[in-house]
Amino acid sequence: MRRWLALVALLLLASASAHAACTKVKLNDLNFGDYSGVVNDTTAQLTVRCDSGFAYSVILSGGGSANVNARTMTESASGNKLNYSVYRDAARSAVWTDVPGTTTIDGVGTDKDQSYNVYGRIPAGQVVMKASYQDSPTVSAGGSVDQVRVSTKVVASCTISAGTLNFGSYTGAVLNAVGTLSVTCNTPTGYHVGLGVGTAPGATESTRKMTGPSASTLAYALFSNAGRTTNWGNIGGTGTVAGSGTGRAQTLTVYGRMVAGQSIATPGLYTDTVIATVSY
C-alpha cells in the first residue's frame, strides 16, 4: 500500500512539472522617433514572468518581413520598406531571433517579473519617402504571447558644403573661375540651393563684391550654367538651383566671372564669403 501511494505522489509531481510555463511576456514599444538617414538607436524593456525553475527562451518573430535577420517596417499606403534590427546586447552585435536557446533571450523562472533591455537600430543611408513606418512582430515565451509595435517617422534632412572659388590674379581682363557645392539629402525630396550676396557693403545677388586692402572692392558674379548667363540667386529670390535627393552627395558647379575693365585702386588680396543655403 505504501508503494502505491509513493507512485501516485511521483506521478503528481511529474504532472505539475510538465505544466510549468510563463504567465507574462511583455515588450514595450520600440519607438525610434524620427529617422533622418543617420543611424538611429532605441532601447525597450522586456518583462517575463515564468513559474519558478522553468527554463524559458523568449523569441521574437520576423514581423512583416517574416525574416528575423532582415526585419522591415512598412509604410501602409505605398508599401515602402525601411530596414531595422533588434539585438540582445547593448553593443548591437547579437541579433534577437526566433531560434530557442541560441539567439534568444533565455532565463529560468522565479515566479516574479524578470526584466531585460533590448536594443533596436535603424541603419544609416536608407533612402525612402517621408512617411510613418511600422512593424508588428510577436514576442513569446512558455506559451505567453504579446504583440510589439515598432515605429518611426522618416523626415527629410539635407546638408550642404562648399569649397573655394579662386579667381587667381586679376589684371583687368575678363577672368573666369569654377567652384563646387555638395548637397546630400536622405529622401527623394526636392530642394533648392541659393547663394547669398556676400559680405561687402552694397553687394547684390547679381553684383557681388570682394573686399581688399583699404576697403577697396572688385565686382564679380556667380552663375549656375557654364555659359554664365543664368545668375545664381539666393533663397527667397530668383535663380536658385533645384534638385532632388538621392541619399548620396550631389555635386553642383558654381561658375564665377569677373568682368573686364575694373580699376584696381589698391593691389592685394581680395576675398568674400558667400553663404550657400539648401531649402527643402
Q: Where are the domains positioned within the chain?
A: 21-154, 158-279
Which positions of the chain have pLDDT values less than 50?
1-18
Q: What is the pLDDT of residue 20?
A: 60
CA distances from 105 to 27, 42, 53, 87, 153 (A): 12, 18, 16, 10, 28
- Which pLDDT does position 101 carry in this prediction? 79
pLDDT digits (tens, 9 = 90+) for 176-217: 999 999 999 999 999 999 999 999 999 999 999 999 999 999
Residues 61 and 145: their CA atoms lie apart, in Å, by: 11
Predicted confidence at residue 176, as pLDDT, reads: 98
Q: Which CATH number is correct for 158-279, 3.50.30.30, 3.40.50.300, 2.60.40.1090, 3.40.50.720?
A: 2.60.40.1090
- The residues, ordered by sequence, that sit 6+ positions from 69 with a Cβ below 8 Å of its Cβ are 95, 97
CA distance 178 to 270: 17
Q: Which CATH superfamily is domain 21-154 in?
A: Immunoglobulins (2.60.40.10)
> Are 21-154 and 158-279 the same fold in CATH?
yes
Rg of the chain over Cα atoms, rounded to whole angstroms, equals 32
| pLDDT of amino acid 18 | 46
DSSP E strands, 61-187: 71-74, 81-87, 105-108, 113-122, 131-135, 138-141, 144-147, 150-154, 158-162, 175-185
DSSP classification of residue 210: E
Closest CA to 134 of 63, 186, 41: 63
pLDDT of residue 265: 79
Tell which residue, 28, 47, 206, has the closest CA to residue 120: 28
